[in-house]
Amino acid sequence: MAKKITYNKIDENLYEIPEDFEKGMNVPARFYASRNTLGIITNDNSLNQLINVAKLPGIIKYALAMPDIHQGYGFPIGGVAAFDYDGGLISPGGVGYDINCGVRLLKSNLQKEEVQNHIKDLTSMIYYSCPTGTGKGACVNVSEKELRKILQNGAGWAVKNNYGDSRDLDYIEDNGQLTADDSYVSKRAIERGKYQVGSLGSGNHFLEIGYVESIYNRKLAQIYGVRENDVVVQIHCGSRGFGHQVCTDYLKKLSSYINKNNINLPDRQLVYASIHSEEGKGYFNAMNAAANYAFNNRQVLTHYVRRSFEKSLKVLKKPVHLDLIYDITHNIAKIESHTINGKKKKLIVHRKGATRAFGPNHEAIPDKYKNSGQPILVPGSMGTYSYLLAGTEKAMQDTFGSSCHGAGRTMSRTQARKSFGANKLILQLSKKDIHLQAKSKKGVSEEAPGAYKNVNDVVNILNSSGLVEKVARLRPMAVIKG
């Protein structure tokens, strides 16, 4: 019989599983939840996964989970774990298969009223310009030589090749480029990556046209450059088959590392290596190469979205442009410095289904946002609200500068297909004036809003905990799915 998990309530929306709950825990396990979400979180294996993360060597302070937590591979999705760099480890399970899956938010110079009568034509043009779905299909097919340039230069490759301009790079996390040695990437990953540059993919990935429905903080909204009724675009995708192959390759290599060093794991899915070992260096470089692929992927898609807006909305007889507000990653391990017990400490922070939420004046934030804190993008489930938030100093103190990445699933894709009919969902969205364009009805059912937590609840948990500041709420007008 499974052991009942006991936890203590340490704040209004913060719970802790103590270090002595289970043998082998090196630190407590903490998770954010409300009365509305607590029952959902305790209904799957995610807290057991969080407990296992707390057993890993070198972990600092506590294993953490955001309110969108749900069961994943090894680490729970919505999980955050920081490890001491000097004796630290890196784990593919703490990053996920879709390395640097992330979101970018673009703001147009148009208002909702100008676009709503043209939304179907605009959506169709974007849909046919930006490949979706599984397998091959890309805006740009590249040679191996060019792909390796992407793996080293990230979004900089796209800008150099006229898919955007240098101003875009200022508003991408890490300026869209991480240091990577692509010699650690397999031939199979290269082959998969050549045919997916500039593609959306499938699953929960989407491209959404919406508008700013509500402003919560006018000062921050002004800094971020958003007003009520501004038309915006979100692009949610990652490193596609390339990143998946990198993860697959290194799960095998790190399993060999575990066996070679006779390491006992709380869960075989939590394979890891020292960041200073050859295997650890290999994964870190390959992961960064995949992150660069994803940054470039979103930049290329942005170019084709911009072109679609310009072409489709010529009827407005005015210049049309889309400015990048921010691009953020939510599946990555980063080397960062954080204050631990009053002293700066170098850490390896794993965020899986969690994003950075750096507070004001952090050196990693673009100059324009220095006084406001980093923009945080939290998309809702298909057809529901999304949020623009700001990072806070409290997040730096309590969560290693981390926030949630979305609403968080409440049921598997198989369960969702059985529970929700695609035709009914399409009709429901239509009644809300949301146009849906999708490659398959199966994908529509899998991504039904009912398969996710309420994003309003998830965001309010973090807002009331002081980890984020609500800036604006976005409402969809059209959704493109793979």
The residues that bridge with 68 in the sheet, in sequence order, are none
- Residue 224 in contact with residue 215, Cβ under 8 Å? no
Q: Which amino acid is at 413?
A: R
* 303 known ligand binder: no
* 25 known ligand binder: no
* 208 known ligand binder: yes
* 138 known ligand binder: no
Closest CA to 462 of 373, 383, 342: 373
Active-site annotation holds for 405: yes
* 445 known ligand binder: no
Burial pattern 316-328, b for ≥16 Cβ within 10 A else e, equals eeeebebebbbbb
* 108 known ligand binder: no
CA angle in degrees (0–180, nearest 5) for 239-477-159: 40
CA gap 189, 169 in Å, rounded: 26
The residues, any chain, with a CB within 8 Å of residue 134's CB and separated by 6 or more, are 201, 202, 482
* 407 known ligand binder: yes
Q: How many CB atoms lie within 10 A of CB 84?
A: 17
CA gap 321, 209 in Å, rounded: 14
Any idea how long the chain is? Answer: 482
* 244 known ligand binder: no
* 2 known ligand binder: no
- Residue 251 in contact with residue 259, Cβ under 8 Å? no
Closest CA to 141 of 205, 186, 198, 190: 198
CA gap 16, 31 in Å, rounded: 6
* 205 known ligand binder: yes
* 175 known ligand binder: no
| Identified catalytic residue from 244, 303, 350, 405 | 405
* 481 known ligand binder: yes
- Residue 221 in contact with residue 282, Cβ under 8 Å? no
CA gap 202, 180 in Å, rounded: 26
- Residue 41 in contact with residue 47, Cβ under 8 Å? yes
Q: Are strands 8-11 and 14-17 parallel, antiparallel or unpaired?
A: antiparallel
Angle of helix 119-129 versus helix 278-312 axis, rounded to 10? 140
* 281 known ligand binder: no
* 411 known ligand binder: no
- Residue 14 in contact with residue 399, Cβ under 8 Å? no
Q: How many CB atoms lie within 10 A of CB 161?
A: 17
* 98 known ligand binder: yes
| Tokens describing residue 341 | 């017990």
CA gap 282, 266 in Å, rounded: 23
* 379 known ligand binder: yes
For residue 147, how far is the Cα from the chain centroid? 23
- Residue 170 in contact with residue 299, Cβ under 8 Å? no
Q: Which amino acid is at 256?
A: S
* 207 known ligand binder: yes
- Residue 216 in contact with residue 471, Cβ under 8 Å? yes
Closest CA to 252 of 230, 241, 268, 264: 268
The residues that bridge with 331 in the sheet, in sequence order, are 352
- Please list the active-site residues: 405
Residue numbers in the known binding site for Mn(2+) are: 98, 205, 236, 330
Residue numbers in the known binding site are: 98, 204-208, 236, 330-331, 379-382, 386, 405-408, 481
Residue numbers in the known binding site for GMP are: 204-208, 330-331, 379-382, 386, 405-408, 481
